[in-house]
Chain A
Amino acid sequence: MTALRLKNISKSFGPVEVLKNIDLTVEDGEFVVFVGPSGCGKSTLLRVIAGLEDASAGLVEIGGVDVTLTPPAKRGIAMVFQTYALYPHLTVRGNMALGLKQARRPKEIIEKRLKEASRMLSLEPYLDRRPSELSGGQRQRVAIGRAIMREPKLFLFDEPLSNLDAALRMNTRVEIAALHRNLAASMIYVTHDQTEAMTLADRIVVMRDGIVEQVGAPMDLYNNPDNQFVAGFLGAPSMNFINAGQHGFEQAAVLGIRPEHLKISDTGPLQGHVTHVERLGADTNVLVKLNTDEMLTLRLFGQYDFEIDAPIRLGYAMKDAFLFDENGHRVK
């Protein structure tokens, strides 16, 4: 069964077209991540799916039912927000139970689910606290707990971790992954964090300016991007783009090489000098200025020392060269 099907979704705010003819299917139990630069319409698409925003055109189906005209509470979805959005006047318990109370579910069911959810997220000690008495990470767990309580057909996450610090982000990320495994629920997750996208997703949807650029499994997108935008967007440091013609590829406009695919080699075709070195411990990023005045990033695993301005020669394997035409489409 399909958890979600979007057909031709468009959305305009006045004259501005924010989403353009989006088609997308999410299978049952799938974890789909939306990525894309800021302002590309990820949150808007999520809100359209949730029913918080009406699509200007198109169809939303959740669990096989057309919900285009159904209010958010009846769509069988739950949403976790970047700002947590907990009800300030309710305790953790009240926050988590409100949705079920509004739906007039029996007390026993609410109690049972509350127990389960708070155990899953280790929230038992905090049930009687107000949100203002919790730390950021705890608040986000409550928000996730509130979503779990609804037992939705589809979870929607809008950058749930971006207000947390790095260590907590990693913990919560692992928790969300575990949650996905345990609940076997369908999830849609918006982020602009590469790591979250790559590690959590079954499939990644790369968006730009309101259109879907490419959909695929993380490694497929990484190894086989359809266009220059996707190639540049995934991977950190991002892919190097240099003039293809100048480097022996007459059939294309742009040559792309990932930083980790560049190798130092005495016979390599790319000559230049070192302009900057970033030592990260496990790996070293070297910024190189080519004699053609183009900049390259080289990623080496391990620790290395380089003199600034020292000459350097780089090579790469043919299979690692990505070629794009002047419109950014992949040339194979």
Chain B
Amino acid sequence: MNKARRNLAHSIAAHTLLLSYTILALFPVFVILINSFKTRKAIFRHPLTPPNPDSFSLVGYETVLKQGDFFHYFQNSMIVTVVSLFFILLFGAMAAFALAEYRFRGNVWMGLYLALGIMIPIRIGTVAILQMMVASGLVNTLTALILVYTAQGLPLAVFILTEFMKQVSDDLKNAGRIDGLSEYAIFFRLALPLVRPAMATVAVFNMIPIWNDLWFPLILAPSEATKTLTLGSQVFIGQFVTNWNAVLAALSLAIIPVLALYVIFSRQLIRGITAGAVK
């Protein structure tokens, strides 16, 4: 902000507000992080104090890492999330481009039909999905999860991206056509880069629910080989005894990749390569 527009009082008020919201939002994460480094006793006795030499302990992390397949779960989650996001963005953007760019009969209805999925929770169809997966032999595969998450994410992706695709300049696409670019080249080389911020938004929206989901991994892919991180962490939560050290450590570790993905996407979100491109 330039000096002329800076106003101290406003700036203090705004920052106070933002800071308090940040603290509020980060507090649970903070509690999880500090407690993951404490002994079980210390967790229950002083849950809000940071670890000190007395209470410091890595027992949670040791349990988690010794649990053997933790890295494997981790990998499963990563594969499922990244591949699902990839398909959501690819198919979502393609559908959005078609809906925004081409005039065909039923264009509007098709858009509405695709957007309808936003309002209908996919979990309602769990039984049918399970039957389908059994019939196609996809139970206990990561493919099953990827398919379900792609379907779950597409409606919102199509809806949001269509709006943004409509804003891509017609002149730019037409210039491409005159220069001999194919419709695919126009989509991938001209339209996609211009809607990158919107794609990042869609990715961030979809990433967390997929990463955290317990429902579908539990139902469609509970085998040892296909367990995701969230499902894998459940072994530490027993009916009678819960290994809190391990749960907290697993949760702390699970934050890292989400954070990494978020950083990647938010950079895209901010980068404005389109500025001054068309006009």
Contacts and interface: CB of A to CB of B under 8 A. Distances in A.
Nearest to B276: A132
Given A81-B174, A83-B171, A88 B278 contact: yes
A232 interface: no
B276 to A, nearest CB: 4
A99 B174 contact: no
Interface of A: 47, 50, 52, 71-74, 77-79, 81-89, 98-99, 102-103, 131-132, 146, 150, 163
Enumerate the 3 nearest inter-chain pairs by beta-carbon distance, A residue then B residue, closest first.
A88-B277, A73-B180, A102-B180
B169 interface: yes
B183 to A, nearest CB: 11
Interface string B145-187: 0000000000000000000000001011011111111000000
Contacts of A52: 174, 177-178
A262 to B, nearest CB: 42
B170 to A, nearest CB: 9
A78 to B, nearest CB: 7
B273 A88 contact: yes
B209 interface: no
Contacts of A77: 178
Most buried by B among A85, A102, A146: A85
Contact of A50 (B178, B193, B273, B279): B178
A146 B171 CA distance: 14
Contacts of B180: 73-74, 99, 102-103
A74 B181 CA distance: 11
Given A83-B169, A85-B172, A89-B273, A72 B178 contact: yes
Contact of A163 (B193, B274, B276, B279): B279
Given A88-B277, A89-B273, A150-B179, 18 more contacts: A52-B177, A72-B177, A73-B177, A74-B180, A81-B174, A81-B175, A82-B171, A84-B278, A85-B174, A86-B172, A87-B277, A88-B274, A89-B189, A99-B178, A103-B180, A131-B277, A132-B276, A163-B279
Nearest to B103: A13
Given A102-B181, A131-B276, A132-B275, A87 B174 contact: no
Contacts of A87: 172, 175-176, 189-190, 277
Nearest to A97: B179
Contacts of A103: 180
A88 B276 CA distance: 8
A73 B179 CA distance: 6
B194 interface: yes
Most buried by A among B178, B179, B193, B277: B178
A79 B178 CA distance: 8
Contacts of A82: 171
A258 to B, nearest CB: 37
Nearest to B274: A88
Contacts of A47: 174
14 contacts: A50-B178, A83-B171, A83-B279, A84-B278, A85-B172, A86-B175, A86-B278, A87-B190, A88-B193, A89-B193, A103-B180, A132-B273, A132-B275, A146-B175
B179 A99 contact: yes
A156 to B, nearest CB: 9
B278 A85 contact: yes
A131 B181 CA distance: 19
